[in-house]
Amino acid sequence: MIQTAVAPKKRTATAEGSPESSSPAKDLLARFHELRNFSAKLSENLAAEDCVVQSIPDVSPTKWHLAHTTWFFETFILKKWKTDYRDAVPEYAYLFNSYYNAAGTMHRRDLRGLISRPTVEETKKYRASINADIDDLVSNADEKLFREIEPILILGIHHEQQHQELLITDIKHVFAQNPLFPVFRKQKIENHKAGIAPVKFVEFDETTLEIGHDGNDFCYDNELPRHRALVLPFALANRLVTNGEYLEFMRDNAYSRSEFWLSLGWMTVNEQSWRAPLYWIERDGEWWNFTLSGLRKVDPNEPITHLSYFEADAYANWAGARLPTEFEWERAAAKIDIDGNFVENERFHPAPLNESPQDGQLAQMFGDVWEWTRSSYSPYPGYRAEPGALGEYNGKFMCNQYVLRGGSCATSRTHIRKTYRNFFQPEKRWQFMGIRLARDLS
């Protein structure tokens, strides 16, 4: 299901300054604790009341994310390899399973906000207990046992990074329901003063290329098998679509014009009464944007975000363009360094371009917002899901969803890859999702 790589050996110093040999186990444990500490940091300013709310079925309470990621390590590592292990609380296996049918029955997803117990403090104690048990198991494992545990521990680390992103997007949705507009992280984000240069398109010739993960480092099974794909000539926008450009779409009454919309999208727009991106609020003729640092006027230079696939596709039709395929996106990203506005910046919001990209260059390919593609989320040729609970990780969701690429301001820099395939149903909006346009070349 996954591929892993062992960190190279290196020399470190103890607190007293004497050298101490590192090892793959120590390096991986250090990474594990860094991950777990970052989850705690993301939730440290939240009150207990903030951590238990579920605003819609798609959103999980912060407490549930903290407990579920802990359950993952307990279920797939401690219960398998720690011979004397006893469940921290047996009922947690039912409460904090998400969708792993092979791991047992589970509590209903849409009722997670009704779980008042365990308390937030009890959940933190659960995390500390499992952290200590993982430490003990990995620290005392011989080389053979460590090699067995290592790929699952790495998978658990990436799994928690996914839930760190969900924690951020979910608490934003929870806070947005409150008329007091609570602040998640107080910071001053100035609106960008300089304008953004008009979008340009970078052209790519027809080619047959290898698509999918290639290497010995970690990847998800949906990035495999690596295979050849024909990509016809196309052009890709050199930057993301901005709020200002999307406002022009809105001012042209595009939310009321069926010619731009897919049939299911048009039905959704009317059923949900959409007339602007999620979190936009109109006051006295001006548009405001709810962010994790408070309510702010919409900055026309920031990348547009919190759009459904339906809105992204309609905007592309209105603009005389289209969304890229995921293969076009991967081809364009192949020689670009992974750099951008990720969660480590702790901005928790898309950032405007500081300067326009040079001719032939692509900006904002990574970070800021996930980029919708027109590609349905389906298996690569030759894909087979692994047996057992971990085989349920990706394969069973390959239906009625679209692929997104590139990561967002809530994604970890150490989690994203050029071959990473995110996926959501076309009506979802609560993630940081945006638009990069593409065009056919005759």
| pTM, full prediction | 0.93
Using pLDDT thresholds of 50, 70 and 90, give the confidence band for residue 20.
low
Using pLDDT thresholds of 50, 70 and 90, give the confidence band for residue 97.
very high
Q: Where are the alpha helices (DSSP H) in 5-142?
A: 24-43, 62-73, 79-81, 92-95, 120-139
Which CATH architecture fits 11-176?
Up-down Bundle (1.20)
Residue among 99, 111, 37, 108 at smallest CA distance from 71: 99
423/365 Cα distance (integer angstroms): 17
Residues of the chain with pLDDT > 70, as a percent, come to 94
Both tokens of residue 36?
């777990």
Does the pLDDT at position 64 exceed 60? Answer: yes
Residues of the chain with CATH 1.20.120.450: 11-176
Residues of the chain with CATH 3.90.1580.10: 201-440
Q: Which pLDDT belongs to residue 16?
A: 39
Both tokens of residue 319?
């603009």
Class of domain 201-440: alpha beta
CB 189 within 8 A of CB 349: yes
Using pLDDT thresholds of 50, 70 and 90, give the confidence band for residue 101.
confident
Phi, psi of 295 (to 5 degrees): -85, 125
Phi, psi of 298 (to 5 degrees): -60, 125
Phi, psi of 242 (to 5 degrees): -100, 165
